[in-house]
Amino acid sequence: MLSRRRLNQLAKDGKNDEVIAKGRAIEGLYPDYVESGNVYSFVADACLKKDDKACAIEELGRYSKIGGRDPETIKKYAKLLADAGKPKEAAAALERLNYIFPLDTELHERLGGLLLETGDTPGAVREYEALVAMHPIDVAGSHYNLAKAYKAVGQKDKAREEAVSALEAAPNFKPAQKLLLEVSGEGEK
């Protein structure tokens, strides 16, 4: 009989192909189990140990679609998607996580960056506003990112205010200095 304990032992022994094959068989028996110690994570980790990122993306995609909600697992999935050149899919994975774990500063920062990259500038503004409201450790970077998002949606006054806030936190922050010049009209000469 297949068991998670046996699967765990195979993983410890480095038998990644067996972990993948047996793990998928267990998934067939218990497809809805996404809690701690779920088989999807075992299989995805085995795929990554084999350097098969497509396999890991597929596995973590199943986990996410079936209702998996572990923040670190979803972030891993989003990172794999982003690294594979699928920023929209990565953003969608993190958007879903927003409903599960909304007080994660790293989540808002990563999601804001992906949304800005994919052209969803109102979404990027929303995420960076949430990040700034959470008083993150990187105050200057958070205000700078919000300034970039405001600039992207054409709100130069707000972009200027956020660039100034970034510079109040870190006066020598060159990207914020440059952005302030751009939104003030000085950098366009």
pLDDT digits (tens, 9 = 90+) for 2-37: 677 888 888 889 999 999 999 999 898 889 999 988
Q: Note the pLDDT of residue 7.
A: 84
Q: Is 70 helix (H, G, I), strand (E, B) or coil?
A: coil
Instruction: Report helix, strand or coil for 172.
Output: coil
- The confidence score (pLDDT) of residue 107 equals 96
Indicate whether 180 pLDDT > 70: yes
Domains observed in the chain? 1-86 (1.25.40.10), 103-189 (1.25.40.10)
Question: Residues 101-138: pLDDT tens digits?
Answer: 999 999 999 999 999 999 999 999 999 999 999 999 99
- In 3D space, the residue among 150, 108, 151 whose CA is nearest the CA of residue 130 turns out to be 108
What span, in angstroms and rounded, lies between the C-alpha atoms of 184 and 189? Answer: 11
Name the average pLDDT for the chain: 94
